[in-house]
Amino acid sequence: MGLMFADRMNQKVAVSVVVVAAFFVTILDTSVVNVAIHVSAASVDSVVIGYLVSLAVFIPASGWLGDRFGNKRVLLVAIVIFTVASILCGAAQSIGQLVGFRILQGAGGGMLTPVGMSLLLHAFPPAERIRASTIIIVPATLGPALGPLLGGVFTDHLSWRWVFYVNVPIGTLAFVFGVLFLGDRRHDDPGRFDLPGFVLAGAGLGLLMYGVSEGPAKGWSDGPVIATCVIGAVALGALVVVELRRPEPMLDLRLYGNHLFRSTVTVITLMGVSFFGAIYLASLFFQNGLGLSAQTSGFNIFPQAVGFTLGAPIAARMLYPRVGPRRIIASGCVIVAAMMAVLATVGTGTSIWTIRAIVLVLGVGMSAIGLPAQTASFATIPAPKIGRASTLFNSQNRLGGAVGVAAITTVVIAVGTTHVVHGHVVAHLVAYRIGFLVAAAIMLVNAGAALVINDADAVETMILRKQQTVPILEPEKLESTS
């Protein structure tokens, strides 16, 4: 029955619906949990760390799994794992159970994002990749914006368990729709499973993710933090050596030889470091620094999604086909950096609507970075390599986000979030301001990185919508451009 419905459904629509729902629920989950964890017991930090480590372990295998068993099947299994684990997390009776179920949830989330992106990129030819990027970026933007808002509502008015239960209806609907309407594709020859690559990638990314996540809280001189960071880095170094020698590697590092892919993924990674670090800092700043409720803090972050929604059509439909990615991305980085620097001037006397206006403009700037960079990333990647490229893209993006949160948090802790004034302990706003300025500086560095992008390499994606009826390059011809 599913195949019958899939034949009748436009696959661009079917893939878009399932991928948006799946991406949204995983990104929303991370940002909602971060708010709930922040206002709950500090011991629950392991809930966040366990999830991040699990993501890092399972993302590398996702490309091969999608090629071997079919992207549709792997995506639906990942949705089921994530949804069932969400139910178990909500029903957990102890911290130990919650951490265990959260790790299971990360296994589903780790497979879900790269496989979903691969499905979407296969459904849309290069001339329509800007549309595909818009579809991917929407949940990536709404999730971090809605997460703090919903997290605040759940924390202030409901139970922490709703942090996980909110995933269930979205995941269920995505699964049912996918079963009925998704078509499938499978790589003709995915090759043998790269066990050494899987072990080294999982150990390297997992340990490094653990180290950078725990570093701010435990201190960078802490023995386990140092050990996990060093061992993780060594494992990743060994991974590079092993994978470059294998004919069918799990992580195809040779794709970094593609100039356009390398330069745009660098932009996406630095964007993640700056943006996710700043968004996490903003939640802390609004609650601990300005003394606002979790719900009000969420409302202060939400305009970022509104700004992105307003800026996306301009970046995607008007500018990208005419200007190309390089100048749009660099300009977006400058806008975002400027707004982060302005956030550093916010104080207790600043109007709440002024804060929201700043965050809205920041969202507009983000649309000028994420959409063009993601569209251009896969412009010269041959169709058979898209799954593996998506795996690299998501691995680096996740690590960038974790490094950003760790780096900005470390800066804030080093300065000190509180100080004594007239015998009373009060919030030290200077610490948060320095954090925002560091995030702004990283985004300015990203503006420089964007200038390395060659617009001519992305020409296949720079087509106006009214011109998208032109013939698409054949796969053999596409391969020759990479």
User: 191 exposed, middle or buried (CB, 10 Å; 0-12, 13-18, 19+)?
Assistant: middle
Whether residue 134 has pLDDT greater than 80:
no
218-225, long-range: CB < 8 A, 24+ apart: 220/410
Common-topology check for domains 1-193 and 255-482: yes
Instruction: Retrieve residue 453's tokens.
Output: 């992008």
Report DSSP letters for 238-279, one per residue.
HHHHHHHH-SS-SS-GGGGGSHHHHHHHHHHHHHHHHHHHHH
The answer to which of 19-33, 150-164, 197-211, 468-482 has the lowest mean pLDDT is 468-482
Residue 466 CB neighbour total at 10 angstroms: 7
Q: How confident is the model at residue 397 (pLDDT cuts 50, 70, 90)?
A: confident
Q: Cβ neighbours of residue 140 under 8 Å, at least 6 residues apart?
A: 23, 27, 370
The answer to which of 33-42, 50-59, 66-75, 243-252 has the lowest mean pLDDT is 33-42
Instruction: Retrieve residue 34's tokens.
Output: 């971060």
DSSP class of residue 345 equals T
What is the three-class DSSP state of 125? Answer: coil
d(CA 220, CA 398): 21
Greater confidence (397 vs 104) lies with 104
Name the CA dihedral angle for 79, 144, 54, 39, rounded to a multiple of 10 degrees: -120
Q: What is the pLDDT of residue 166?
A: 82
pLDDT for 88-109, tens place per residue? 988 888 878 888 888 898 889 8
Fold (CATH) for 1-193: Growth Hormone; Chain: A; (1.20.1250)
Contact assessment for residue 434 and residue 259, using Cβ atoms and an 8 Å cutoff: no
Instruction: Retrieve residue 480's tokens.
Output: 């020759």
Residue (of 391, 114, 115, 382) closest to 249 by Cα position: 391
User: 177 exposed, middle or buried (CB, 10 Å; 0-12, 13-18, 19+)?
Assistant: middle
Domain ranges of the chain: 1-193, 255-482
Angle at 279 between CA 273 and CA 284, to 5 degrees: 120
Amino acid at 182: L
pLDDT for 260-315, tens place per residue? 999 999 999 999 899 988 988 888 888 888 888 777 887 888 888 889 888 888 88
Contact assessment for residue 359 and residue 300, using Cβ atoms and an 8 Å cutoff: yes
**23 Cα distance to chain centroid:** 9
Q: What is the pLDDT of residue 328?
A: 95
Average pLDDT over residues 344-358: 92
pLDDT for 362-382, tens place per residue? 999 998 998 899 889 988 888
pLDDT for 424-436, tens place per residue? 667 788 889 999 9
Contact assessment for residue 371 and residue 320, using Cβ atoms and an 8 Å cutoff: yes
User: What is the model's pTM?
Assistant: 0.81
Q: Above pLDDT 90, what percent of the chain?
A: 26
Q: What is the pLDDT of residue 71?
A: 85
d(CA 210, CA 206): 6
Domain 255-482 has CATH 1.20.1250.20: yes
Contact assessment for residue 260 and residue 458, using Cβ atoms and an 8 Å cutoff: yes
Residue 155 CB neighbour total at 10 angstroms: 23
Contact assessment for residue 54 and residue 68, using Cβ atoms and an 8 Å cutoff: no
Which helix (H) or strand (E) segment holds residue 417: the answer is: none
**425 pairs with which residues across the strands?**
420
d(CA 239, CA 233): 10
Q: What is the pLDDT of residue 39?
A: 45
